Structure 1
Amino acid sequence: MTSNERLALVRAGLSARHRREKRFRFYGIAAIVLALGFVAMLFAMILSRGLPAFTQATFSLDVHFDPAIVKVDKKPVRSSEQSPAEYAKEISAWERKVTMVNWNKVIEAAVRNAAPETTANSREILSIVETNARFELRDMFVADPALLGKTVPVRMLASANADNWLKGNIDRSLPDAQQQLRDPARALADQLMAEGKIRNAFAWHIFTNVDSRSAPASAGLAGAFVGSLYMILVVIVLAVPIGVMSAVYLEEFAPKNRFTDLIEVNINNLAAVPSIVFGLLGAAVFINYFRLPLSAPLAGGLVLTLMTLPTVIIATRSALRAVPPSLRQAALGLGASKTQTVFHHVLPVTYPGILTATIIGVAQALGETAPLLLIGMNAFVAQVPATPLDQSSALPVQIFLWQGNENRNFFEARTSAAIIVLLGLMLTLNAIAIFLRSKLEKRA
């Protein structure tokens, strides 16, 4: 073979290798673009469906506290001769009388005053107003009895059915029998919307109210959000120190024998166990054996801690293995003990990796639903938990419950809004982790 033929053969081989390299780069870029496209599509779908739920049809009415309807005596005033118990009893009796007032009539009168020409009857008028509105008026009067006989502007939510109608979530061409509201109620809602007495306002109650079955339009995420925060706190307090110390011992101090090999294999196996298995374990151990309160954030946090521990241990051990051996040798050569070498020199270098492992584990735990369902956190809880021992729900479980609600026209958007809140919490945790990691890396 001549030199020219060998040169041509080499050039042909180089061209083939360059083409393969270009194809590999193309495939890599295409895979990244495709993955980002799917992520963008997911976020676009969630945002397009969830953002409308953050605004809700709201009445702006002038409410008259008519003495002919609100027939109650003046609020008792404590006399100097009354004991605290006697005064509390008198106040309680007065509040019971206030509760017995037909506040729906007050609401109906306010709506009729806003639309005097309406042909809707009492039931149809009240069908476009959220059922909690009567309790809001009652609480206003209890807080300020001087409202009797006065007319004050009040904002109250429209019902879920009225909100669906005004937002176009229901086909307006459907026959009357298939509509959620009767024809006079729909006409009244359209009229009040056109006159500006119903407006789409930001739904702050999504963040401040708890879930509600009797008043779905006022249902919120406050209870589930606080329950999730309690569970995250339990996971961070337990999983992080236990996981990090376990990884440090296994990697730096534990003897290499069959027993430690068995532990390492089991830790790797636990990381691949389905989350529902941890839910079964938590129900059997924490609920049935230790008798922890059912549907409590403490029980949920303990279950999620078991699920998060393998992730923290494996990631921490990987961070410890990445530390150069020269760092250990230098510390030992200067007279440091094994413990001083690990905790004063090796472990500080791994803080960014440990932090990343912690956030990954916590974010994974935050989005888990199956194990929480098995310990009863899918129960309806209409309160914000004051402590980790109180019953509560969690954000992923609340999403699961809203997705299965019978009023799909209303709760489909509300479910997407809850997903946005959950993603926002996870992105916030990741942002904090990135910030802290950058600070630790600069310090290191």
Structure 2
Amino acid sequence: MTPPDGSQPVTGRDDLVAWIEAGSKAPADWRIGTEHEKFVFDRRTLEPVGFDGPRGIEAFLEGMTRFGWTPVTEAGRTIALKRDGAAITLEPAGQLELSGAPLERLQQSCAEVNGHLAEVREVASELDVGLLGVGFHPTARREAMPWMPKARYAIMRRYMPTRGDHGLDMMTRSCGVQVNLDFADEADMVRKLRVGLALQPLATALFANSPFVEGSPSGWQSYRSRVWMDTDPDRCGMLAFAFGDDMGFERYVDYALDVPMYFIHRGERLIDAAGQSFRDFMAGRLPALPGEYPTLADWEDHLTTLFPEVRIKRFIEMRGADAGPWERLCALPAFWTGLLYDRRALDQAYQLIADWQPGELAALRADAARHGLAARFRGETLTDWARRVLPIARQGLAHRGWGEAHFLDSLEAIAATGRTPSDEQLEAYHGRWHGDVRAVFREYAY
């Protein structure tokens, strides 16, 4: 199917459905896109690094251009980079995100990750800054986090506090890792979405790597996940409707239309439409642009402002994992690729979760964030479930025939002990760190 042009006017709901459906691909064309975020900190003070100045985030981005990255500017400032289908972007407080290119094999994705590490280390060393991959900032207060000069973040900063207590924490103090995967058609999308949602709490537990808040244990294995539970309920969560009989492209479009807007791009302008309705926009009644109608590019923008645990655009995004150590960044795409890109593995996973209920999953999401692999579901711990699911993922990777299964080794080691990355940090905090969380910057920096 030829994708519609982004400038095409939206004439009705069918156009929105067709835009998503145009992402359908034959299995031979399925790709893997890995995204990961990391905090940038001053090695001298351990404080977050701001945008301006000779050692700031903009200087970091400009330093990266030596590797062939092309600057992306907004209002004359460098706010992102692009190269060969990949991008380096900024989260609201200057967290650096690599949005990887869509690649065929996990080896290619992992090579991309390692190449990125070499580049950012070179620039970071020159600026005397460090990079830390954890799910939530371990020491800084919200008020201490800098803000990047991106217009969309100014709009979100104003709107977020009206829709939850932790939206600004999500924006400024959290980091995640995600993988973007393809679907063949509507039925394949639905199966992958349901498996992804059902097993997202397991991924949260396996990757739990944010036990500290403002220098002390928080009581949560993944405080990043806890923050998402109190961030704009209109656009976050587990998508209970995805398990209904009517689930498909149209049902997801109806959900997205019910989510209030954030903004609209018009040339170089970003227009604040926070809280307004895309349905009104389609009727020419949007208060921010009365008498105007949306294009498919506006629809694409709107879909980027939805933040469920699994998100649909022209591909599927798995969003439930904390950022982590470099050696584990290849494990998340391996986990989901193994489960979703092999028909036999997907069948097994789908059968495993076939009778799981949305209410159960909502409770499990909270328990996984708090207790990690010790959380219980249907009489068993998530450690038990991990030992059941990871072999399915390994078999799925083996069936692909490209020698990718070893990328699951780190997750299998976690499942073997039942100890999450957060457990390791808490043990260090109560032991060799002597209650000083700042040691995380020394031991876990890239």
The TM-score normalised by the length of structure 1 is 0.19
Greater fraction strand = 2
The structure whose RCO (Cα within 8 Å, separation 6+) is larger is 2
TM-score, with length taken from structure 2 = 0.19
* Higher Rg of the two aligned structures: 1
Higher helix content, 1 or 2: 1
